[in-house]
Structure 1
Amino acid sequence: MDVGWNSVAGQSPPNPVAEIHPTSNPHPLGMDQQPIQQIQHITYSTKYSDDTYEYRHVVLPSQLTDIVPRHLLAEHEWRSLGLQQSRGWIHYGFYGPEKNVLLFRRKLPPPAERPVAPAPVLVDSEAGDT
């Protein structure tokens, strides 16, 4: 069986992350190639919103910075980096000072369609005492 590397005793397989350069491979690593430790170190902000969009930012491990393409990522591209978010999130930018921070947003539904919590029921504690 050919595994694509020399399996001489004491020699370990090549590191796929170390061999990737942004100019030679513009595509991000697939989930099957990305080290699991890096996926576990992806952090997600809490969601925040304005009148139109819900936002969040995602911080990738700094080791992944060099393999992340510098264009806006399609959903299949950011998912291939190991990001896990519900549907509807759109990558709209990078945080300038920190290239490993990806910015996401998704459109809020119109106000009529947004779920509204029921109004709290006020109980008059004195009403039962009479």
Structure 2
Amino acid sequence: MTKPRHLTDSERAKVLEFQDMIHYSPRYSDDTHEYRHVMLPKNMLKVIPQDYFNPETGTLRILLEEEWRGLGITQSLGWSHYETHAPEPHILLFKRPINYGQ
């Protein structure tokens, strides 16, 4: 199990300045999962620590729940970050099983 990389207090203060500008898409689903995408303000990417990024693609790496919550993303339980869309690196894709927690 990978250990989450927690933000320092100064890093957290910088990213949380953008928290009110994070946009959450409506949920959509298929037969097994529900999905949503979370759009970070583009300028927020400049204050996220470099080790949150994949050096090969330049996009955010797949973040653990403690990490994305640390960036100020707020969602109910069960969501997992599963992909970052390279052409739009500020958009994070999330999914969780249908009927999670019911």
Give the TM-score, by structure 2 length.
Answer: 0.72
| Identity rate, percent | 42
**Higher RCO (CA 8 Å, separation ≥ 6 residues):** 2
Structure 1, 77-86 or 62-71: larger mean CA deviation: 62-71
SS of 1:33's equivalent in the other structure is helix
Larger Rg: 1
| Partners of 1:29 and 1:81 within 8 A in 2 | no
Residues 6, 70 of structure 2: 8 Å contact kept = no
Change (3 A) 1:36 1:77: closer
Where do residues 29-108 of structure 1 align in structure 2 (5 Å cutoff)?
A: 32-34=12-14, 36-66=16-46, 67=48, 69-70=52-53, 71-108=61-98
Find the aligned partners of 1:98 and 1:79 in 2 and give their Cα distance. 20
Looking at secondary structure, tell me which structure has more helix per residue.
2
Q: Residue type matched to 2:95 in 1?
A: R
Q: Unpaired segments of 5 or more residues in structure 1? A: 1-25, 115-130
Task: Kindly indicate whether the alpha-carbon contact (under 8 Å) linking 1:45 and 1:56 is maintained by their aligned counterparts in 2.
Answer: yes
Task: Kindly provide the amino acid, as one letter, of the partner of residue 39 in structure 2.
Answer: V
CA contact (8 A) 1:29 1:80 kept: no
- Cα gap change, 1:46 to 1:29, in 2 (>3 Å): farther
RMSD (CA atoms): 2.5
SS in 2 for 1:96: coil
Q: Which runs of 5+ in 2 are unaligned?
A: 54-60
More off after superposition, 49-58 vs 31-40: 31-40
For residue 33 of structure 1, report the CA deviation from its aligned partner: 1.4
Query: What is the distance in 2 between the residues matched to 1:59 and 1:49?
Result: 18
